[in-house]
Amino acid sequence: MFFVSCEEPELGLETQPGGDSANLLRELNLKVEAATEREDSVKTDELSLNLLGAYNDPLLGKIRSSIYMQLRPAVSNIDLGVNPTADSIVLVLPYRSYYGDLSKLNGLQRFRAFRVREMMYKDSSYFSSDTLERDLIPLGSTTYLTPSILDSVSVAGRKEAPQLRIKLDQSLANEFISNPEDLVNADVFTAFLNGIYLDADTRNPNDEQGAILDFNLIGGARIDLFYKNDVNDSLKTSFIVNESSARYTRFKHVYKPEVTSSLGSFEAGKQKLFIHNMGGLRTKLQIPDLMNWKAGRNILIHQALMTISVDANSLGKYAPNPQLNIVLKDEEGNLIISPDLSVNSTSYSGGVYNSTTKEYSFNIARYLQSRLNGVITDEYFYIQPSGTGISSYRVVLNGTEAISGSMKFEILYQILPN
């Protein structure tokens, strides 16, 4: 997202000492319309985190995330010694955190690793809907397991940080041993092993099963080759994901009919609105009577506070987004941040979840002033989840006319001479 390119509007309260609101007019009756819409595919290459896992959301549907990643030799000029023989080969992903359910039975899911058969490039752009050619038969698979993200594991008698371990097929280990010339540097190795694709699935389709895990791949993701030679019978060499490795996350969502039937509907948006990270869902809004309300007057906006409450029935094990942002679209349909967000202070722009009131509040004063001044002409603005490519939060908001707590919109303003 890029900064909106427009003139900074003049605003009232932020230019007055102490934010004096005496003698301001208050508008509470401007109608806001809202609807859920799908996010576009998002760019997910070389992000700080990658998501892997599967869960069945009781409100949204089936949520899946997979990873494409490229590995490189941990050291240059690997020398396997005389008469090397492969013992085993293991893919390792150190755990970081998760979203969903990791209780003993509900957390069960299976992870699989496939060989990618297409070159990956660090300087290419990869989006959350992109796929690469890969083998159909996995190189390795776990049983259905519940990830244990807090328990250390024992590897060759040594304790290591909690990690997902997928034992890969012995044929790959033998291939490594048989082709030592392909292990000497990153260029030849990535041509030999283009990459690894990882996916996950839950044991059954029941609601509230599974979780999405997030990994810092450059913080320890690797393939460990265990082998022996004529000199030593307990050797290991590693192939790692580092800053030079191409990597990206792919998302797949199969939303429930309640969600898909609400897409683009301002009528459905009167009751519920859905927001989902992972290139999923956002909320589209408009204030249809804004320009009629202006009615030729010279209006100076001091504050425009939009407060939206969370559907209490949607909470529980699925935490709501910590931060939501107001964004706009440019003429090409690309997302740009709103003038309010450009202040670069959540104390001004808002959007932080209040766990006490279970609400989000947004100040859209600069956006409204820009609309009134004709600097921004698009009548729509959007509530976009923060960190959509690197986290898996979701939240269900009460709609604009929800009985359990409808959207509140208050404008403080004054009328200046024309």
Q: Tens of pLDDT along 266-323? A: 999 999 999 999 999 999 999 999 999 999 999 999 999 999 999 988 988 899 999 9
Q: What percent of the chain has pLDDT over 70?
A: 94
Q: What percent of the chain has pLDDT over 90?
A: 81
Q: Tens of pLDDT along 175-216? A: 999 999 999 999 999 999 999 999 999 998 888 899 999 999
Work out the number of other CB atoms within 10 angstroms of the CB of residue 413: 22
Mean pLDDT of the region 227-246: 96
Rg (CA), the chain: 26
Q: Tens of pLDDT along 110-149? A: 999 999 999 999 999 999 999 999 999 999 999 999 999 9
| CA–CA gap between residue 67 and residue 51 (Å, rounded) | 7
Mean pLDDT of the region 81-102: 96
| Residue ranges of domains in the chain | 2-41+256-416, 50-245
Look at the chain and count its residues. Answer: 418
Tell which wins on pLDDT, 1 or 148. Answer: 148
Q: Tens of pLDDT along 147-178? A: 999 989 888 788 989 999 999 999 999 999 99
Which helix (H) or strand (E) element contains residue 260? Answer: helix 257-260
- Can you give the pTM of this predicted structure? 0.90
pLDDT attached to residue 346:
63
Instruction: Dump the DSSP string for 354-378.
Output: BTTTTEEEEE-HHHHHHHHTTS---
Determine phi and psi for 13, rounding to 5 degrees: -60, -35
pLDDT attached to residue 317:
86
Strand partners, 275: 395
Residue type, 100: G
Q: How confident is the model at residue 333 (pLDDT cuts 50, 70, 90)?
A: confident
What mean pLDDT value characterizes the chain? Answer: 92
